[in-house]
């Protein structure tokens, strides 16, 4: 009989790690985006962006309902993660630069 360890099954982590940080605290500061998820909000599907970021060598999680950020990050090719960026507020909207 085989042991479970013989199957060489690797656990894939889908949870983001780190403390939550408000986007307002990282505006206009260079960050590294490692991954993202789109989750349903109370009212709309795929309306809440979850970001796994790194700032000052620490991982954090950010949340946003910004349509601009959602539209922009959906266009980033999977193989391009992680990437460096800065989130700025322009005309009352957040966007990656």
The CA-based dihedral angle spanning residues 80, 86, 89, 95, taken in that order and rounded to the nearest 10 degrees: -10
* CA–CA separation, 97 and 88 (whole Å): 7
Specify whether the backbone of 92 is left (phi greater than 0), alpha (psi in -120 to 50) or beta.
left
Tell me: the pLDDT tens digits for 54-64? 999 999 999 99
Q: Is 17 exposed, middle or buried (0-12, 13-18, 19+ CB in 10 A)?
A: exposed
Confidence of residue 13 (pLDDT cuts 50, 70, 90): low
Per-residue DSSP letter, 68:
H
Confidence of residue 10 (pLDDT cuts 50, 70, 90): confident
């Amino acid at each position: 009989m085989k042991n479970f360890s013989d199957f060489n099954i690797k656990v894939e982590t889908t949870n983001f790690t780190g403390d939550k940080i408000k986007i307002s605290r990282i505006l206009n500061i260079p960050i590294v985006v490692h991954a993202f998820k789109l989750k349903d909000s109370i009212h709309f599907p795929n309306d809440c962006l979850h970001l796994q970021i790194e700032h000052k060598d620490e991982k954090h999680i950010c949340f946003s309902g910004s349509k601009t950020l959602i539209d922009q990050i959906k266009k980033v090719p999977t193989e391009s993660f992680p990437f460096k960026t800065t989130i700025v507020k322009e005309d009352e909207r957040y966007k990656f630069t």
